Amino acid sequence: MALKAKTSTRIGVTILGWGIALWLFFPIFWMILTSFKSEVQAISTPPKLFFMPTLSSYAEVFERANYWHFALNTVTVSVAATAIAIALAVPAAYSMAFMPSKRTRGTLLWMLSTRMLPPVGVLVPIYILARNTHLLDTCTGLAIVDMLTNLPIIVWMLYTFFREVPAPILEAGRMDGATRWQEMTMVLLPLALPGIASTALLSLILCWNEAFWSLNLTSSHAAPLTAFIASFSSPEGLFFGKLSAASTLAVAPILVFGWISQKQLVRGLTFGAVK
């Protein structure tokens, strides 16, 4: 009897889990599905689940815009922003986690509070700053802004992961003659690697999909994939087939990358539990 109840609970949980997963995945699924429809099929009511797939939307998208140009910009900006942010955040989080002062908590909260500011509120000053420093429509400019917007979250996440590393292990390193730098790179980083990897992955995803600043600070030269998608939405009215094809092309690389690295991600997110 007890066993039976347990089995049914397990089935229930499984169904619920799949339900939530499908619900979360549905928009992506529908987007991919729509990208293989013709424009007519894409807007037909009721929506069609089964149809003759076509690559016409993809063909048109490739014809009209240089996908590789946008993709290269996105990769450049995301990787650069993430790499710089991690490089800056590791020492910051290290000092906050292992040499806290009475202001550490406050600093962390204050850093996070900058994320609560709506970006549009600082659009004009940042735009002017970018213009005056000739960083408008450059990958450098966009990478700097992306890096800065993500930095608080990255520091916060790394801080949380570093806090999981027992301080005596680092102190043992110091007793063994390690400098602060060696202590950080030879003891802390290997131990916190899963956490750093999942933080970097999150940062990559955030940069990859960042639209507000890319649309406002770039026009052509440094326009990333989000601008590529946007170029298929407004001007000529909505063509869902092409829009979906463009979106699918835009998210596909990061989706695949996330899938490959999901093992790392899960390990990172459950770091505390498996330590």
Partner 1 sequence: MATVELKNLRKTYLTEEIIKGISLSIEEHEFVVFVGPSGCGKSTLLRMIAGLEDITSGDLLIDGQRVNDVEPGKRGLAMVFQSYALYPHMNVYKNMEFGLKLSGMPEAERRAKIENVARTLQLEPYLNHKPGQLSGGQRQRVAIGRAIVRNPKVFLFDEPLSNLDAALRGQMRVELSALHRKLGATTIYVTHDQVEAMTMADKIVVLQKGVVEQIGSPLELYHHPRNLFVARFIGSPPMNFFSAIFQGGDAAGSSVQLRDGSTLYVPVTSPGLLPGTKVTVGIRPEHVELASSGPNSGVVEVIERLGAITLVHVRMPDGEIIVVQTDGAVLTDVNSPISLTLPPRNCHLFAPDGLAFEACHRHPLAA
What residues line the site for partner 1 (CB under 8 A)?
102, 166, 168-169, 171-179, 182, 186-187, 190-191
Considering the complex, state which of residue 14 and residue 176 has its C-beta at the smaller distance from partner 1: 176
49 or 175: CB nearest partner 1: 175
Kindly state the smallest distance separating residue 170's Cβ from partner 1, in Å: 9
Give min distance, CB of 195 to partner 1, in A: 13
* Cβ proximity to partner 1, 168 vs 237, nearer residue: 168
CB within 8 Å of 264: residues ≥ 6 apart = 194, 197, 198, 201
Alpha helices in 135-179 (DSSP H): 139-163, 167-175
The CB-of-177 to partner 1 minimum distance in angstroms stands at: 3
d(CA 69, CA 72): 5
Burial of 188 (0-12, 13-18, 19+ CB in 10 A): buried
Residue whose CB is less far from partner 1, 6 or 275: 275
Task: Determine the straight-line distance between the first and last CA of the chain, rounded to whole angstroms.
Answer: 37
Name the 3-class secondary structure at 48: coil
Choice between 143 and 191, CB closer to partner 1? 191
CB of 161 to partner 1, least distance (A): 14
| Residue linked to tokens 């048109």 | 60
Which is nearer to partner 1, 28 or 186 (by Cβ)? 186
Q: Which two tokens stand for residue 39?
A: 């424009």
For residue 15 the two structure tokens come to 């169904």
Q: Rounded distance, CA 255 to CA 258, Å?
A: 5
Q: Determine phi and psi for 9, rounding to 5 degrees.
A: -60, -45
Neighbours of 169 (CB within 10 A): 12
The Cα-based distances of 78 to 7, 31, 86, 139, 269 in angstroms read 45, 23, 12, 10, 21
Q: Shortest gap between Cβ of 176 and partner 1 (angstroms)?
A: 3
Least distance (Å) from partner 1 to the CB of residue 109?
A: 20
Cβ nearer to partner 1, comparing 165 with 254: 165
Q: Shortest Cβ distance from residue 267 to partner 1 (Å)? A: 14
